[in-house]
């Protein structure tokens, strides 16, 4: 008797996390429907690429027969997308409507620990707004710590440190930081699907680091010496507001600074126990990385 493969829908499937999910679920024998922009440019055997843009209606015919949806796609708020909040919220509504019309069993939204009631950053506010869409027994929200791997924000920081041999200590680098290896986040998603776990889960290392500690460990992993440059948070916030007002190029924007200003730590042990998962700590993640 032929085994029927399970089918999973992944939005943002060409992104840092999305591409890891495609690779992992494909390896496990799943049918993959990868929702991306410019779908015609992607060709991977065993993966069906479907044209998708959060800002536009889409063809949901590929959802038929799927058992799981993982939503990682996100439109960043910038000069090209001043209406990003509305785009992300309306896009999430369309996505969940299509999922429920096709009776998908588990809908997983990748949120962030930046999403909380005290969030001032646009990123945190937008993630929180989309969380309110993903409600119900068929939904799971993952409030993830900083996702680490060979890319993403950590890859960008590693590149900066390699080229500049410096690291900014904004506000003294005292902000709390909890992390997760991208491979562990994939395991978490697999466990949620297997257990059919619903609700909001905060998923990150139980260990709480500071940004200064993180930079020190990262520079050691890279085998380089870096100079730590103290940057007063309020001063930087003022500079970023001015550069945005004058439309001047600057590598850090106001939203980045507001995100750092309102970082919060969280107890994650109870949620990890629900999934029966233990995460690698920062040292182990760095040791496994190819930065």
Encode pLDDT of 215-241 as tens digits. Answer: 999 999 999 999 998 877 776 666 655
pTM (predicted TM-score): 0.92
With both helix axes pointing from N to C terminus, report the angle between 16-27 and 182-195 in degrees, rounded to the nearest 10.
60
Encode pLDDT of 160-208 as tens digits. Answer: 899 999 888 888 889 999 999 999 999 999 999 999 999 999 999 999 9
pLDDT for residue 248 is more than 60: no
Encode pLDDT of 39-76 as tens digits. Answer: 999 999 989 999 999 999 998 999 999 999 999 999 98
- What letters, b where the CB count within 10 A reaches 16 and e where it falls short, cover 239-271? bbeebeeeeeeeebbbbbbbbbbebebbebeeb
């Amino acid at each position: 008797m032929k085994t029927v493969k399970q089918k999973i829908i992944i939005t943002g499937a060409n992104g840092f996390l999305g591409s890891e999910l495609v690779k992992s679920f494909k390896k496990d024998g799943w049918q993959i429907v990868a929702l991306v922009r410019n779908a015609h440019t992607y060709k991977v055997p065993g993966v069906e690429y479907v044209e998708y843009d959060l800002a536009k209606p889409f063809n949901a015919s590929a959802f038929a027969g799927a058992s799981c949806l993982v939503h990682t796609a996100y439109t960043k708020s910038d000069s090209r997308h001043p209406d990003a909040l509305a785009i992300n919220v309306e896009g999430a509504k369309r996505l969940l409507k299509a999922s429920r019309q096709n009776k998908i069993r588990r809908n997983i939204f990748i949120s962030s620990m930046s999403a909380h009631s005290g969030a001032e950053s646009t990123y945190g506010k937008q993630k929180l707004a989309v969380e309110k869409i993903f409600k119900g027994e068929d939904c799971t929200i993952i409030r993830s710590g900083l996702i680490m791997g060979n890319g993403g924000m950590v890859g960008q920081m590693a590149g900066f440190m390699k080229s500049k041999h410096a690291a900014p200590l904004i506000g003294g680098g005292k902000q709390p930081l909890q992390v997760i290896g991208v491979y562990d986040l994939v395991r978490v998603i697999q466990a949620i699907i297997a257990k059919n776990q619903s609700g909001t889960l905060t998923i990150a290392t139980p260990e709480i680091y500071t940004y200064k500690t993180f930079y020190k460990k990262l520079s050691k992993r890279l085998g380089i010496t870096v100079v730590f440059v103290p940057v007063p948070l309020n001063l930087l916030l003022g500079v970023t507001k001015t550069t945005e007002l004058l439309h001047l190029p600057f590598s850090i924007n106001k939203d980045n600074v507001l995100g750092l200003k309102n970082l919060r730590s969280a107890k994650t042990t109870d949620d990890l126990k629900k999934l029966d998962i233990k995460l690698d700590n920062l040292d182990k993640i760095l040791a496994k990385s190819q930065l």
